[in-house]
Structure formats: structure tokens, C-alpha cells
Amino acid sequence: MTAISELVAALTPEKVLTDPDVTGSYARDRTFLEPGSPLAVVLASSRDDVVAVMAWATAHRVPVVPRGAGTGLAGGATAVEGCVVLALHRMTAIRELSPADEIAVVEPGVITADLDRAAREHGLMYAPDPSSYEISTIGGNLATNAGGLRCVKYGVTRDSALGLEVVLADGRVINTGRRTVKGVTGYDLTGLFVGSEGTLGVITAATVRLRRAPAVHPTTIAAEFGSLRDAAASVSAIIAAGCQPSLMEMLDRNTLKAIDDWRHIGLEEATRAMLIGQSDAADGPAVAARMAEICTATGATFVAVSSSPQEAEELIAVRRMAYEAKERLGTCLVEDVCVPRSALPYMIEKIEEIAVAHDVLIATVAHAGDGNLHPVFVFDRSLAEPPPNVWAAADAVFRETLRMGGTLTGEHGVGLMKRRWLALETGPVTEEIHHGIKAVFDPLGILNPGKAI
């Protein structure tokens, strides 16, 4: 019996796809990276399916690439040659939702927004809010420790992950963490798996923290500025004033122009940046008014404050259009560096200087309240990969980020995209420890090889 025949026998024929025309559609994420050719794709529908795949893969030493919705931007779900792509998007059960304990137990294929909607039926919310929340999955969010628009107030995915069910490389199952808010028994394996990009185990369920949904609809502001530095300075002033925004996003001129060319939002010629803020506090309108005052005092040329839930959603929608608008311009190398919040004005200006120096179109948005910037390097879509000047510009951004005490990735993960720069941040001792941890959980190196570390 061939290896694939054994896999089919362990599962069912309809769960194992081997037609190259079909498997190729599961081989890449949203990056331009050219994937390897998978040996097969497994459409897992249960933990037992994942156990069977990993036990088989260990026996035959076949690499396995876990995959959610394929919305990743760092190449973390890109197929490697001769691998099995383990697709988890069919595992969509919300196994439990407990309003009393304010937790949910969910499978990895649950769409992020669907969990939030289910929680809101009970007066609760799931706080992590990546821009792709309507299509990205909880499993993918856990694998990359995704953040999103609300992370300035509620934190990233790791802050909402209490416990995990994980299938290890050899098919054994472990449960990490707990259902309680507190707990320090043993090492924090939950925190270790979150952000590990499928290199240590396959998450098949997660116990996540829910929070009380705001009692009133959030109030949103949108402020336009004649310079990015003024917009960044407003962020610092708003935080220093104790406003505690639930969302604080910044868009540069290139991003706004891409959105305007597509959706005709009425962009003024003098506008170089836009700041979108939101408060979901009980006194949200008063907080939003205070944020608007601060923006005006720090140089805003125009400020709008939502007067209805519909207006608030329309202002947020501008931010959510950003990535799709930039994709219309060409192929995108999307990055997500993070700097200390105090360094944000400097870093914003530095990115603009780097764009000019290397003759590259860079369109930047930022989770400004966290200092998390998404510079998007746009290049001709006829090219298979970024030309040298784009890589040189990216290198300059990364090195400047690290010089400012920042990090190479705030939420997208390392994947394949950033491995060439990883040692600049981690150093040789940390790198050795990372590989030691990998060897404990995956001694054969079959779990998502070549990614993250």
C-alpha cells in the first residue's frame, strides 16, 4: 500500500485531495510567494482527522502545512514541496459558549466575526478584531497572534486565549491552559503555541475569553491632517490625555488616494494623513469630543464625529478598505513592524524618506495606538517577486525599526517573508533556544518546515 493510500484508508477518500489542479488552490496564502506542490490536501473535519494525519506524517516523515482561510500575509501557510496541506476550515463548531464564565470553546475553522456575533447574542464580545475578521479564522489568528483594530484597548489574540487543544507532530493530543482567568500551574504552553505559526503543533480547539460588549454603540472620529507627523503627534496626545480609545488607526496619503480612486471618498488635495479613533466607553460621545479637540489642537485641518451608529460604521469602513484598495495598484509586499509608541512620529517620517530614497511606492496604515505600522510596498504585478529596490527599501525599514527598539512583526508573523531578517532581532542565543524548543515538539521537523524560526 502506498503512503497516500494509507492516508486515504485512515480517513475517507473525499477528505484527501490529490488532483494537482485542486491542491494548487490550497497551496498559497495572500502573498506573492510561489508555493511548492503539495502531495495532497486533507480537508479535516474533526480532531481525530488531525490525529490521523499527524500519526501518518510521522510514520512516513512527510511535512505538514496547517492552513486556515489562507488570509496570511507572511507566507506562513505557503505549501512546501511534497507536503500535505492540512486544511482546517471545515472545523467550524462553537463547542461551547458560556455567558456565566464569559468564555467560548471554538474549533480552528470558526470565522472571527462569527464568534463575535455569537457572543453578542449574550451581551458579550470577542475582542480581537483583525482587518480580515469577516474571512480569517480563529486558528489562523492564534497561529500568528493576530491583533487588529481594537487591540489598543483589548490586546491581541494571546490576551484572549485561555487554553488550547493541540495535536502534536506524532499525533498525541495535549490540553494547555485552563478555563479560569487565573492559573500558573506549569509553564505557559498556551502562550508558547499562540504565535508559533503551526510549527509546534496543530490547534484543534481553543478556550477563549469573552468580554462584556459595550453598553452603547461606539462613537467614532475621523481627523484629516496636512502631515503624518501631526497625525502621529495627535495619537500620543490622545493617549497621554487618558482617553483610552478602543480603536486608533492612521492612514497615509498614498493609502487614502488608493481608497479615493476606488471608492471616491472625497479626499482633499491638502490631506496627507487621516486618523480614525473610536471610544466604546459609557461616555463615548464625550471621549470622542475630547479626542476631536486634541486633534484640532495638534494640527488637524478637519475633524468629523459620528452622530449615529451608521456614521460610525461608515468611518471605520474607510480603514477596512485599505488593503483591497492597495491591491488594485499592483502586487503588495505587506509588512507590520512595530515601534514604541513614542517613536511613531519619527518612524512614519523615516518610511517616507526610505520610499523616496529607493524610488518605491509605500502606502502605510497603522494601528497607531500600539505603534504597529503596516507599510505596504507596491510593485508591478507583472513581476513574480519584488525587484531589488523594493527589498532594499524593506530592509531599510526593518533595520530602522530595530534601531528604534521595535520588532519585525507585530501580528502577521514571520512566515517565510521575514526569515532573512530574524537573526537581527533575536540574536544567536535566542535562535538556538528557538530551535531547541522546536526539536522538543517536532523532532522530525515535519510541522510547517522553514517557517517562523
- pLDDT for residue 148: 87
Q: Residue 259 has which C-alpha cell?
A: 481608497
The answer to whether 125 and 212 are in contact (CB under 8 A) is yes
How is domain 330-446 classified at the architecture level of CATH?
2-Layer Sandwich (3.30)
| Fold classified for 94-212 | 3.30.465
For residue 362, what are the β-bridge partners? Answer: 377
Report strand pairing: 361-367 vs 247-252.
antiparallel
Q: How far apart are CA 131 and CA 146, in angstroms?
A: 10
3-state secondary structure of 305: strand
Beta strands in 171-233 (DSSP E): 173-177, 202-209, 211-212, 219-225
Cα end-to-end distance, the chain, whole Å: 35
Name the residue type at position 101: D
Max CA separation in the chain (angstroms) = 74
How is domain 215-322 classified at the architecture level of CATH?
2-Layer Sandwich (3.30)
Judge if 215-322 and 330-446 fold alike in CATH terms: yes
* Of 208, 199, 323, 185, residue with least CA distance to 254: 323
| Fold classified for 3-87 | 3.30.43
**Residue ranges covered by each domain of the chain:** 3-87, 94-212, 215-322, 330-446
- pLDDT for residue 181: 87
Q: For each of the chain's 453 residues, which pLDDT tens digit applies?
A: 478 999 999 999 999 999 999 999 999 999 999 999 999 999 999 999 999 999 999 999 999 999 999 999 999 999 999 999 999 999 999 999 999 999 999 999 999 999 999 999 999 999 999 988 999 999 999 999 999 899 999 999 999 999 999 999 999 999 999 999 888 999 999 999 999 999 999 999 999 999 999 988 999 999 999 999 999 999 999 999 999 999 999 999 999 999 999 999 999 999 999 999 999 999 999 999 999 999 999 999 999 999 999 999 998 999 989 989 999 999 999 999 999 988 998 999 999 999 999 999 999 999 999 999 999 999 999 999 999 999 999 999 999 999 999 999 999 999 999 999 999 999 999 999 999 999 999 999 999 999 999
Q: How many residues does the chain have?
A: 453
Model pTM score = 0.94
